[in-house]
Amino acid sequence: MLLDESGPSAYYWQVLGCVNFLSVVVFGIPLTTFQFAAYFRTLPRETIDAAKVDGASTIQSLFRVVLTVSRPILAVTGIINFVWTYNEVLLPFLVITD
Secondary structure of 57-70 in HEC code, one letter for each residue:
CHHHHHHHHHHHHC
Q: How confident is the model at residue 32 (pLDDT cuts 50, 70, 90)?
A: confident
| pLDDT score for 20 | 56
DSSP states of the chain: -HHHHH-HHHHHHHHTT-TT-GGGGGTTHHHHHHHHHHHHHHS-HHHHHHHHHTT--HHHHIIIIIHHHTHHHHHHHHHHHHHHHHHTTHHHHHH---
Q: What is the pTM of this model?
A: 0.62
Domain boundaries, the chain: 24-90
Tell me: the pLDDT tens digits for 39-89?
999 999 999 999 999 999 999 999 999 999 999 999 999 998 888 877 777
